[in-house]
Structure 1
Amino acid sequence: MKRLFTNLTFWVLTAITLGILLGHFAPEIALYPILDEPLKGHFMGQELSIGSTVSEFLSGIFISTVKLFINPIIFITITLGIISMGDLKKVGKVGAKALIYFEVVTTFALIIGVALAQLLRPGDGVVTNQVKGGDISKYTNTATDFSWWKFFGDNVTLQVLLVALILGSLLSNYSGRERVVKVLAFVSKYVFWGLHKVMLLAPVGAFGGMAYTISKYGIHTLLPLGKLMLTVYLTMACFVFGVLGLILRTYKLSIWQFLKYIKEELLIVLGTSSSEAALPSIMEKLERMGCSKPVVGLVVPAGYSFNLDGTTIYLSMATIFLAQVFHVHLSWEQILTIIGILMVTSKGAAGVTGSGFVVLASTLTAVKVIPVEGLALLLGVDRFMSEARAITNIIGNGVATVWIANNEKEFDRLKMEAAMKTES
């Protein structure tokens, strides 16, 4: 019993349950305003936001605090890893292999999303006037502003990654690099110590995030879109246990074991609807599992921008869903066009304000046969599906890191067995 009460997973699950109960039975408490207006700002390269209501405030405090650790951990991890590796050709090889892997796997995700949406047809029978919509102007207005230069300029994580790559490469040839390694290792120790303390607040963040979602939208208002939600969750489960499971099996690894190993991170993502909330923690766990520092430092940050499996599945399914709702028959040529467009636009989902909605708006605008106004149908249900997207994204990036580490012979199976045994 003592072990149960000191287990973070237990407290996060409890917090999620309490958040659902509060949001459903006492939404006025969850949505009680404690600030005159939301707090927004930028610090250490991260956009921080804390809402004005009780539930938003609790969730925002946790997520914003964790975000402060993301860029320092990425910088320290990758710089230290490259200096320790020393072989710059190998660094470039890992980066190129990661990008090829991302493109292949996200293309599979797109095809699976389109195929199952066509097979299960979640949009058939949806009566549009029964579904609560919303204002989509901020998404459609932003959709035309996307550019790769803007994507890089807005994505501070990629900028930190680039700086760390350059600095690590320069320092790898520095005669006094051993002193640099000692300093970075010392700083790294205390950064991760601080992160462990912050993660103790995960139940608070999960409670606030779930209470806000349930109290604001209410489960009953989502029934008209329940089929879409069920289809999205089913498709992502098929992708995780099918595609990602097969990828791990190539190196005799079990997807079930891996999910059990990262269960705390998955619950944090479920409660907060943010994969960023678990990014520093998942990087540390992957290293502890046996993946080398350079591989973790290269693959995970890049994956958060280019390997968004969950977001890719959602975008493809949402596009087909809206076509079915508005009785738009898509030819195979048009479906292939949608897949082609999403192969490009989905890579910008992490760096654009409004994330998936802006990318979806730009895709609908490019296709020109599905009404962009249909986005309003998805606003109410999006928060619930964002949890599925975020969970699939973090699993996908974890699997990518493990696979590439194995492929590069930068994986320690003895460390993995010890880590798995500790978590069981």
Structure 2
Amino acid sequence: MNITPNPSTNTKKSLFKTVVTNLTFWVLIAIISGVLLGHFSPQNGVKMEFLGKKFIQLISVFIGPIIFLTIVLGISGMGNLKKVGRIGVKALAYFEVVSTVALAIGVTVAYLFKPGKIDKSGLTFGDASQYTQGAAEHFSWLQFFLSNFTLQVLLAAIVCGIALNFYKKREQTILVLERVSKVVFFGLKYVMYLAPIGAFGGMAYTIGKFGLATLIPLGKLMLCVYLTMALFVFLILGSILRYYKISIFSILKYIKEELLLVLGTSSSEAALPSIMVKLERMGCSKSVVGLVIPTGYSFNLDGTSIYLSMSVLFIAQLYDVHLSFFEILTVIGILMITSKGAAGVTGSGFIVLASTLTALHKIPVEGLAFLLGVDKFMSEARAITNLIGNTVATIIISKTERDFTELNLEPVSE
């Protein structure tokens, strides 16, 4: 007796296999599990911190080589230094304009909704003066560059890429670098299978350490930060993409795995290697991706810009410090400079804030203590917005270079 297989059964099995073998599924499960552990067993949740840290440290090992190799190959592969300069100028101009818009939106929302004007009864501010004031007093641009690994690698890669164009054995050197690049990305492929573990550790620690009840006094600030970043992503970046007939929703769908990874680890750097691969598959040229993405991680921090601008006004509101229009413009001007390269330095957000507050000589630097406990919860929004911003920037620069083939994207309907 012959039994004909049920097509629907085969389809269900195929769907089940697709789901359970998808890294996104396991990252999402890990995030939910981390939240549950942190909530119901805070002590054990806090102990999971090392998993998230170790995963980020492991990913960070690949950041330097990938940035160096992609930029060098991108510049040397062009063979036309005029094109390198043109893309660089376009990218920097785009970064400055968009990040300034992000700063302005952050200041505007904080000024209008006043998240710092909350009931301060029963609240006590921790003493962060030793940490933050020390960071501000010892801040120097030379030290900032020397401690910023990303900026150092960027500069070295640009110099090497340009120099390689004048090297006699240029073609042989490029072949060697391409082979090394393949080995690095091959190793990264297997490291990424550990992403669910890193996401689980990061979420379990966050919930276990701070809990939900302790966030009530800062709920208004968090709400404003998340809403502002959503406004920036869907209104500003969405409008820019729409001009080029691309839907922001199709972009978000395409990079959903990277967004979930960033959500779990609170680090946009964790998704840097894979987002570069995806953008090339999407249709962006290798040279543009190799220049724009690594540079954007230092100069196009839209989410960080929003967070920093809102934090300055938030602290001013906490201490009932009135800022004039000129002083608010000064805040934007200072942050336009100090926020660049911030992602490459551990604790850089507080260093940038401390240096900005010190430059103003008006807002107590000790107010940063109020942000210490909730910074972790807003870092996800920062990192995700930074990732989306750099993704959009790469697409736009590729479009302006007429070096983009739309693959896996749904054009905006007229």
TM-score if structure 1 supplies the norm length? 0.89
Query: Displacement of 1:136 after TM fit?
Result: 4.4
Identity %: 64
Equivalent residues in 2 for 1:269-284, closer than 5 Å: 269-284=262-277
Q: How many residues align?
A: 396
1:8 matched to 2:23: yes
The letter for the 2-side match of 1:319 is V
Distance 1:169 1:290 in 2: 25
Matches within 5 A, 1:402-413: 402-413=395-406
Q: 2:80 aligns to what? A: 87
8 Å CA contact retained: 1:58, 1:205: yes
Shift of 1:176: 3.3
Farther-moved stretch of structure 1 (160-169 vs 370-379):
160-169
Q: Does 1:106 align with 2:121?
A: no
Q: What pairs with 1:370-385 in structure 2 (closer than 5 Å)?
A: 370-385=363-378
1:127 aligned to 2:120? yes
Amino acid at match of 1:315: L
2:317 to 317, 321, 324: 324
Quote the Cα distance in structure 1 between the aligned partners of 2:43 and 2:106: 37
Name the CA distance, whole Å, in 2 between partners of 1:110 and 1:103.
10
1:142 to 126, 135, 147: 135
Q: Does 1:224 align with 2:217?
A: yes
Question: What is the CA–CA distance in structure 2 between the aligned matches of 1:15 and 1:132, rounded to whole Å?
Answer: 34
Alpha-carbon deviation of 1:182? 2.2
Give the counterpart of 2:37 among 22, 32, 46.
22
Letter in 2 for 1:339: I
- In structure 2, relative to structure 1, the CA distance for the partners of 1:177 and 1:261 (3 Å cut) is same
Aligned to 2:356: 363
Contact 2:70 2:291 in 1 (8 A): no
Rounded Cα–Cα distance in structure 1 between residues aligned with 2:252 and 2:126: 35
- Shift of the alpha carbon at 1:155? 1.8
Q: Which residue of 2 aligns with 1:157?
A: 150
- Identify the residue that residue 199 of structure 1 maps to in structure 2: 192
Segments of structure 2 that go 5 or more residues without pairing to the other structure are 1-15
Q: Provide structure 1 residue ranges, at least 5 long, that are not aligned to the other structure.
A: 32-53
* 1:11 Cα offset (Å): 0.7
Cα distance 1:132–1:326, how it changes in 2: closer, same or farther (>3 A)?
closer
Q: Which has the larger radius of gyration?
A: 2
CA distance in 2, matches of 1:102, 1:342: 14
Q: Secondary structure at the match of 1:409?
A: coil
SS in 2 for 1:201: helix
Kept after mapping to 2: 8 A contact 1:22/1:30: yes
CA displacement at 1:168 relative to structure 2: 2.1
74-83 vs 354-363, greater mean Cα deviation: 74-83
Contact map agreement 1:78 1:298 (CA 8 A) in 2: yes
SS in 2 for 1:347: coil
Alignment of 1:69-80 (within 5 A): 69-80=62-73
Q: What SS is found at the alignment partner of 2:339? A: helix
SS of 2:85's equivalent in the other structure is: helix
Q: Distance in 1 between matches of 2:344 and 2:138?
A: 12
Give the C-alpha shift of residue 131 in structure 1.
Answer: 5.5
Shift of 1:245: 0.9
Q: Which whole-Å CA distance do the structure 1 matches of 2:50 and 2:85 have between them? A: 42
Using the size of structure 2 for normalisation, the TM-score is 0.91
2:287 aligns to what?
294
Q: Over the residues paired in the alignment, what is the CA RMSD in angstroms?
A: 1.8
**2:393 corresponds to which of 386, 394, 400:** 400
Shift of 1:387: 0.9
Deviation at residue 81 of structure 1 after TM alignment: 1.9
Q: 1:185 aligns with which of 173, 178, 185?
A: 178
- Whether the 8 Å contact between 2:268 and 2:387 is mirrored in structure 1 is yes
Distance 1:128 1:394, change over 3 A: farther
Q: CA deviation at 1:369?
A: 2.0
CA distance in 2, matches of 1:366, 1:115: 21
* Structure 1 moving runs of 4+ over 3 Å: 131-136, 173-176
For 2:220 and 2:145, locate their aligned partners in 1 and report how far apart those are by CA, in whole Å.
36
Aligned mates of 2:255, 2:121 — CA distance in 1: 39
TM superposition shift of 1:128? 6.1
Shift of 1:139: 2.4
SS at match of 2:116: coil
Q: Give the stretch that moved more between structures: 331-340 or 163-172.
A: 163-172
Please state how far the C-alpha of 1:291 moved relative to its aligned partner.
1.4
Taking the aligned partners of 1:352 and 1:136, their CA distance within structure 2 comes to 20
Please say if residues 114 and 316 of structure 1, whose CA atoms lie closer than 8 Å, have aligned partners that are also in contact. yes
Task: Return the offset for 1:195.
Answer: 0.8
Q: 2:214, 2:226 → 1: CA distance? A: 18
Q: Deviations over 1:372-411 (max 9, x none)?
A: 1111111111110111111111111111111111111222
Structure 1 contact 348–359 (Cα < 8 Å) conserved:
no
Contact 2:246/2:410, CA 8 A, preserved across alignment? no
Q: Which residue of 1 aligns with 2:300?
A: 307
Q: Partner of 2:7 in structure 1?
A: none
What is the deviation of 1:256?
0.8
- Could you say what secondary structure the match of 2:231 adopts? helix
Tell me which moved more, 122-131 or 237-246: 122-131
User: Does the CA contact (< 8 Å) of 2:127 and 2:366 recur in 1?
Assistant: no
2:160 and 2:336 map into 1 onto residues whose CA distance is 31
